[in-house]
Structure 1
Amino acid sequence: MSDTILITGASSGLGEGMAREFAARGASLALCARRTDRLDALKSELEAAHPGLKVSIRALDVDDHAQVFDVFRAFRDEFGRLDRIIVNAGIGKGQPLGTGQFAANRQTAETNFVAALAQMEAAMEIFRAQNHGHLVAVSSVSAIRGMPSNINTYAATKAGLAALAEGLRVELIRTKSPIRVTTLYPGYIHTAINAQVKNKPFVVDTRTGCKAMVKAIESGKKECYVPRWPWSPIGFVLKRLPEPVLAKMF
């Protein structure tokens, strides 16, 4: 029996790319996002490419926290179970603090952290009842350190998400639960969310990045930099750089 995988933010970018990769592996897919027209097109594409594949789609605005619980439960009821839930939906609208852009920073914080918390709550409610499941939190390499300027709030939200996932792992180890939690730290993968970023070192195309993400998820490891090269050694170095050196890099 194939795994059933729920992906949020599946209408574009990393979510859409991961859906294609998991479809090629025969997984049943529960895909949700705000843009249902794009989800309809993706569903048609995947079902044509993989006859017999089950793909279900639902509208979801992750900032509507009640809707998050409703959609996750509806997918669970439809499929009978959910084996893996990927908390992927996010935005990148952060601006330098104190420049009159609080609304953009607040929206980034609310979507990337508070809405992610709602998704993790809804996922764990289902997994605890099933007594199995794999929760995947899509963080960012930027979460490794505090980042300046436009990246500041975004990086902070991704650090918060990573801490939330780690704390959950610790709890599940303590209680000897079979539920698994993985944190992904993607480097620069070309998507619409970072299309306007000029300096993107070691950037890879969406398909390459998503293949690396799916490989990392299926490895079962607790934390993964993706792509592993060069971001694993870069992450190691970033953690240890003095702040004056970090300031010159970004």
Structure 2
Amino acid sequence: MRRNILITGASSGLGAEMARQFAAKGRNLALTARREDRLVELREALLAAHPGITVVTHRLDVTDHDAVFATFRTIDTELPGGLDRIVVNAGIGKGAPLGTGRFDANLQTAQTNFVAALAQAEAAMELFRARNAGHLVLVSSVAGVRGLPKAVTTYAATKAAIGSLAEGLQLELLGKPIKVSAIFPGYIHSELNEHVAKTPLIVGTEVGVRAMVAAIEAEKTRAYVPTWPWVPLARVMKFAPLPLLKRLI
């Protein structure tokens, strides 16, 4: 059992709910995010509900790559026995159609969702390689299954890159003690998508994250969550001809 779990982007949304659900399982937690006040509030709530666990918090901007390495190393010394699972969850949903004058938004999305995730994966693997053990979880999205248009183009590309990064590590580490999971959430309500028009496929945060946590606990290599309807829909998205895909989305 993975007892000591680090979650980035834990101040709200999926990250905060993962923290709640892992805390309920008795896991020790390290929570990072830019909004330290929210982390402190979450830590107090978790300890009040589950006084037997340890929860540490660190303010971290994942685009500060040096800080990512330093923070991960520090946290590894703060939890007894060190980290044995790291969930790379921090991300943003900004974006604009390419060529419309908003390169700044697309660049920020690319830097936060992929380059910063790469730094987190590097920092995690540095710790895990040293002890030849651990579980790296990379949170992608069903948006990463296929290229998507307009404001989502760059976001989808970053999530596809996350999936590829995970698969490369899985191939390298096949049969070895270090495990790598790629999680592809479907539409799960969070602060990230509050501005998006309602969809009949969206599920509540608690329900959606429960499916994520189950996949993480099972250490699945690749998981579309919730299973229904995203396992069949991901297959359709992956193989549909472009004209059909355009009609579907």
User: What's the TM-score bracket when you normalise by the shorter of the two chains?
Assistant: over 0.9
Aligned equivalents of 2:200, 2:227: Cα separation in 1 = 14
Match of 1:212 in 2: 211
Aligned-residue CA RMSD in angstroms?
A: 1.1
Does residue 246 (structure 1) correspond to residue 245 (structure 2)? The answer is: yes
- Residues 80-229 of structure 1: pairs in structure 2 closer than 5 A: 80-173=81-174, 176-229=175-228
- Residues 11-22 of structure 1: pairs in structure 2 closer than 5 A: 11-22=11-22
2:76 match: secondary structure: helix
Aligned equivalents of 1:217, 1:160: Cα separation in 2 = 19
* Residue pair 2:26, 2:52 contacting (<8 A) in 1 also: no
- Cα deviation for residue 2 of structure 1 reads 6.3
- Cα deviation for residue 136 of structure 1 reads 0.3
Aligned equivalents of 2:10, 2:198: Cα separation in 1 = 26
Aligned equivalents of 2:113, 2:27: Cα separation in 1 = 26
Counterpart residue identity of residue 10, structure 2: A
1:8-28 alpha-carbon deviations (Å, 9 max, x no partner): 000000000000000000000
Match of 1:68 in 2: 68
1:171-229 alpha-carbon deviations (Å, 9 max, x no partner): 111xx421000000000000011111115341001111111110010112100001011
Counterpart residue identity of residue 114, structure 1: V
1:73-131 alpha-carbon deviations (Å, 9 max, x no partner): 00001113101000000000011001100000000000000000000000000000111
Aligned equivalents of 1:19, 1:75: Cα separation in 2 = 16
Consecutive unaligned residues of structure 2, counting only runs of 5 or more, are: none
Match of 1:49 in 2: 49
1:137-169 alpha-carbon deviations (Å, 9 max, x no partner): 000001010000111000000000110010011
- Cα deviation for residue 249 of structure 1 reads 2.7
1:69 match: secondary structure: helix
* Residue pair 2:91, 2:113 contacting (<8 A) in 1 also: yes
Match of 2:31 in 1: 31
Aligned equivalents of 1:249, 1:229: Cα separation in 2 = 17
* Structure 1 segments (4+ residues) deviating >3 Å: none
1:239 match: secondary structure: helix
* Residue pair 1:85, 1:123 contacting (<8 A) in 2 also: yes
Consecutive unaligned residues of structure 1, counting only runs of 5 or more, are: none
Aligned equivalents of 2:69, 2:208: Cα separation in 1 = 29
Aligned equivalents of 2:2, 2:219: Cα separation in 1 = 17
Counterpart residue identity of residue 169, structure 1: Q
- Cα deviation for residue 248 of structure 1 reads 2.1
2:5 match: secondary structure: strand
Would you say how many aligned residue pairs link Structure 1 and Structure 2?
248
- Indicate the percent of aligned positions where both proteins have the same amino acid: 59
